[in-house]
């Protein structure tokens, strides 16, 4: 593996690049930058530098042999030394130049052979080989055998022949006259491994059928295989399958160069192929160099691997990663827009989950193929009479995202029957939030004016003749309220709920974004902490848990809300503190967790949660 590479001026000037030295390189090296920045030129320069080092290694061996021959002749006859001195001087000068070239690349393994660079270039219009039905068996065998080396080009040219060989092996394994042949077993193992690789990339495998002449027909996706029927992306995935399976030995220990692989493949597939190369094929001496402007690929590589290319200059990204992202995303505005989009997507998914937790079984009919509609959970009001609307109060409704999620359910399931109310404390709601929330309420087409459902106080819900609320939701809200105010809010909610009503507490147990909603910091309650808070194991009902326990929805019946006291709140806070400490200890056990961004974020969350719970516990008299 190359740990350091230098691009001297005499190599960079002819191609319009700046001299540079890259150090502390790992198994994956990313050249990131916008179009026209010089990424592809640096990638070609890396290849030519490697070729120059390989040539220098060979030349040094040859020159050393010549030098040994001359030294031997001089030892035999000193009289010829003046004649051969000029040759020795020339050899020494050449050795010095070639050794200087060798210094352009440093590797982790000093005994490693000269660098072997393989530039994986894909030709979307390349040849996929002849139709097996019009080719001789020997030609098919020869072409199929040729794909064990040669990169994308050879793999692509062998597609028809190799796919036919796979189909023929499967046929032979099922035929009574050939299935027990010893030589078939190796071919069958190769076939099964290739189909496994192919299925991981294209979700299908090679099979066979017989035509009217009893000739083997290669089948793929239930029809005769024809590479021309594959999209360009699918064809490249087929080529990748051959490369990853058949060229493993040829690729082992090599330095692979990939120029903007995202041009032909979805970033997820790019990342999966890079993982396969890193983990299964290249070995410790191999290395991957990728020129890219794909944000997902850059994020996968992590900061240590990223080198920024711009205006013909290359340097380690390091603390300039912000500049890299600005150049790739169109400046700070582009970064802000992407951040907003991701945050909105997370919030919308959360509110959709919360909305689904509100509806009784059978009220919302899942639309076919919609995974979110299919995961509609048990109702918080399983005894609700369906011809009466479910009255929902969204406590601290913000911009009314829950109303938006409910509107989507109402659109896809017209039989849904509910009335949505949004409550905001005036001191904590901006005019923009109120306007947006009212707009979302208007989309529900409820009776009367949308403003009738936008509440700044709960008082009129307790007036004589007012119908009580069936479900009060706190969607990602409880943790934003200072704990000293929780009991007061539970009492207010108790007043507006029907006798058989529920408070639904929906929380993200591992927030994707850190926050400090108030001076005490957030406190997120899990199921056990809520049971301490409301003083009973029976007080909390699990409505839904999704995304590996991250999104939780718990129902608390009205009669349990008044059981929350200063003493139970203190116990709940101590439970949160204990749980956070336990999680931190697990995370810090390196035997259980490798380093990753996900683990780091989890560590930061529980560190903050522990600190916040500790500060909150100091507010109680017993502390």
Q: Give 539-567 pLDDT, tens digit per residue.
A: 999 888 887 888 888 999 999 999 999 99
Average pLDDT for 61-74: 85
- The pLDDT score that the predictor gives to residue 383 is 36
Average pLDDT over residues 122-141: 84
Look up residue 557 and give its two tokens.
């019946």
Residue 194 has pLDDT above 60, yes or no: yes
Residue 89 has, within 13 A of its CA and on its CB side, a CA count of: 6
Tokens of 529: 């902490």
What domains sit in the chain, N to C, each tagged with a CATH number? Answer: 1-116+253-342 (3.40.50), 121-248 (no CATH), 371-563 (3.40.50.150)
Q: Are 333 and 340 in contact (CB under 8 A)?
A: no
Q: How much of the chain, in percent, has pLDDT values that exceed 90? A: 39
- pLDDT higher than 60, residue 366: no
DSSP 498-511: EEEEEEEEEEESS-
At residue 514 the predicted structure's pLDDT band, cuts being 50, 70 and 90, is: low
**Which residue's entry shows tokens 């050449």?**
94
Highest mean pLDDT, choosing among 58-67, 369-378, 482-491? 482-491
Cα torsion at 372, 378, 384, 385 (round to 10°)? 60
CA-based nearest residue to 466, from 397, 395, 404, 393 = 393
Give the pLDDT of residue 21.
93
CA-based nearest residue to 528, from 565, 475, 568, 488: 568
Give the three-state DSSP class for 368.
Answer: coil
Question: Which SS3 state, helix, strand or coil, does residue 6 take?
Answer: strand
Beta strands in 367-477 (DSSP E): 390-395, 418-423, 454-455, 469-475
Q: What is the pTM of this model?
A: 0.62
Question: CA 507, 510, 516 angle in degrees (round to 5)?
Answer: 80
d(CA 33, CA 297): 12
Phi and psi torsions of 554, nearest 5°: -120, 135
Residue that wins the pLDDT comparison between 76 and 477: 477
Q: Quick one: pLDDT band at residue 374, thresholds 50, 70, 90?
A: very low
Residues whose CB falls within 8 Å of the CB of residue 261, separated by 6 or more in sequence, listed in order: 270, 273, 290, 292, 297
Lowest mean pLDDT segment, chosen from 36-40, 126-130, 511-515, 568-572: 511-515
pLDDT in tens, 207-235: 999 988 888 999 999 899 999 898 888 89
| DSSP labels, 209-255 | EE-TT--EEEEETTEE--GGGS-HHHHHHHHHHHHHHHTHHHHTT-E
Is residue 434 classed exposed, middle or buried when 0-12, 13-18 and 19+ CB atoms within 10 A define those classes?
buried
pLDDT for 326 equals 86
Name the band, by pLDDT with cuts 50, 70 and 90, for residue 376.
very low
- pLDDT tens, position by position, 383-425: 344 567 889 999 998 888 888 878 877 776 777 788 999 999 8
Identify the band that residue 111 occupies on the pLDDT scale cut at 50, 70 and 90: low
Element (H, E) at 466: none
Q: Specify the pLDDT at position 348.
A: 65
Q: What angle do CA 577, 580, 584 make, to 5 degrees?
A: 140
Q: How many CB atoms lie within 10 A of CB 411?
A: 12
Query: pLDDT-based confidence at 102, cuts 50/70/90?
Result: confident
| pLDDT given at position 620 | 77
Model confidence at 375, pLDDT cuts 50, 70, 90, reads very low
Q: How does pLDDT run across 446-467, given as a tens digit for each residue?
A: 999 999 999 988 887 877 778 8
Q: Are 274 and 290 in contact (CB under 8 A)?
A: yes
| Chain length of the chain | 623
DSSP letter for each residue of 194-207: HHHHHHHHHS--EE
* SS3 label, residue 366: coil
- Which has more confidence, 423 or 362? 423
User: Which residues, 6+ apart, have CB-to-CB distance to 484 below 8 Å?
Assistant: 619
Half-sphere exposure of 385 (CA within 13 A, CB side): 2
Name the average pLDDT for the chain: 84
- pLDDT, one tens digit per residue, over 291-337 is 999 999 998 988 889 999 999 999 998 878 888 888 888 888 888 88
Residue 99 has phi, psi (to 5 degrees) of -65, -35
Average pLDDT over residues 355-362: 50
Whether 471 has a pLDDT exceeding 80, the answer reads yes
**Distance, CA of 244 to CA of 158 (rounded, Å):** 14
Highest mean pLDDT range out of 50-59, 294-303, 458-467, 509-518? 294-303
- Specify burial of residue 116 (Cβ count, 10 A radius: 0-12, 13-18, 19+): middle
pLDDT (tens digit per residue) in 251-272:
998 999 999 988 888 888 889 8
Q: Decide if 4 contacts 23 (C-beta within 8 A).
A: yes
CA 143 to chain centre: 37
Q: What is the mean pLDDT of the segment spanning 111-136?
A: 80
What's the pLDDT tens digit per position in 150-167?
988 999 999 999 999 999
Does the pLDDT of residue 56 top 80, yes or no?
A: yes
Assign 596 a pLDDT band (cuts: 50, 70, 90).
low
pLDDT band for position 355 (cuts 50, 70, 90): low
């Amino acid at each position: 593996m190359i740990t350091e590479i230098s691009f001297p001026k005499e190599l960079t000037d002819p191609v319009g690049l700046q001299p540079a030295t890259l150090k502390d390189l790992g198994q994956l090296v990313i050249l990131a930058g916008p179009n026209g920045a010089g990424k592809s030129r640096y990638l070609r320069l890396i290849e030519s530098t490697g070729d120059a080092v390989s040539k220098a290694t060979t030349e040094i061996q040859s020159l050393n042999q010549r030098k040994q021959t001359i030294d031997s002749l001089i030892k035999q006859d000193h009289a010829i030394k003046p004649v051969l001195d000029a040759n020795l001087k020339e050899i020494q000068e050449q050795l010095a130049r070639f050794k200087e070239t060798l210094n352009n690349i440093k590797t982790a393994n000093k005994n490693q052979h000269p660098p072997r660079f393989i530039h994986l270039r894909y030709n979307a219009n390349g040849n996929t080989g002849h139709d097996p039905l019009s080719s001789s068996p020997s030609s098919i065998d020869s072409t199929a055998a040729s794909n064990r080396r040669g990169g994308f080009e050879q793999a692509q040219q062998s597609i028809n022949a190799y796919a036919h060989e796979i189909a023929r092996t499967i046929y032979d394994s099922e035929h009574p006259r050939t299935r027990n042949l010893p030589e078939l077993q190796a071919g069958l193992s190769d076939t099964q491994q290739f189909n496994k690789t192919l299925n991981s990339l294209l979700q299908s495998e090679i099979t066979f059928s017989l035509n009217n002449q009893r000739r083997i027909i290669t089948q793929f996706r239930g029809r005769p295989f024809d590479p021309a029927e594959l999209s360009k992306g699918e064809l490249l995935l087929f080529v990748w399958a051959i490369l990853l399976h058949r060229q493993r030995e040829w690729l082992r220990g090599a330095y692979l160069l990939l120029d903007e692989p995202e041009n032909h493949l979805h970033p997820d597939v790019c990342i999966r192929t890079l993982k396969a190369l890193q983990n299964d094929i290249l070995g410790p001496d191999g290395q991957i160099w990728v020129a890219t402007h794909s944000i997902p690929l850059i994020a996968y590589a992590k900061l240590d691997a990223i080198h920024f290319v711009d205006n013909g200059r290359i340097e380690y990204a390091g603390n300039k990663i912000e500049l890299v992202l600005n150049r790739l995303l169109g400046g700070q505005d582009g970064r802000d827009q992407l951040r907003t989009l991701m945050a909105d997507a997370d919030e919308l998914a959360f509110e959709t989950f919360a909305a689904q937790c509100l509806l009784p079984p059978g009220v919302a009919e899942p639309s076919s193929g919609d995974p979110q509609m299919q995961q509609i959970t048990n109702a918080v009001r399983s005894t609700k009479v369906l011809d009466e609307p479910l009255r929902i109060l969204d406590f601290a409704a913000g911009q009314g995202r829950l109303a938006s999620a409910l509107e989507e359910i109402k659109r896809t399931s017209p039989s849904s029957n509910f009335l949505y109310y949004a409550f905001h404390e005036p001191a904590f709601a901006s005019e923009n939030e109120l306007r947006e929330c009212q707009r979302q309420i208007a989309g529900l087409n409820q009776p009367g004016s949308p403003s009738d459902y936008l509440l700044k106080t709960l008082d009129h819900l307790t007036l004589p003749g007012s119908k009580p609320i069936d479900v009060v939701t706190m969607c990602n809200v409880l943790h934003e309220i200072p704990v000293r105010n929780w009991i007061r809010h539970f009492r207010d909610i108790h007043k507006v709920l029907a006798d058989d009503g529920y408070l639904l507490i929906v929380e993200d147990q591992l927030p994707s974004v850190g926050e400090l909603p108030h001076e005490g910091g957030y406190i997120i309650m899990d199921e056990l902490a809520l049971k301490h808070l409301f003083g009973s194991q029976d007080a909390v009902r699990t409505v839904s848990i999704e995304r590996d326990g991250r999104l939780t929805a718990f129902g608390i019946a009205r009669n349990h809300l008044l059981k929350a006291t200063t003493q139970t709140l203190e116990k709940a806070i101590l439970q949160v503190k204990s749980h956070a400490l336990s999680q931190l200890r697990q995370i810090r056990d390196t035997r259980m967790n490798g380093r990753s961004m996900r683990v780091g974020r989890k560590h930061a969350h529980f560190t903050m949660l522990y600190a916040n719970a500790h500060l909150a516990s100091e507010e109680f008299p017993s502390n």
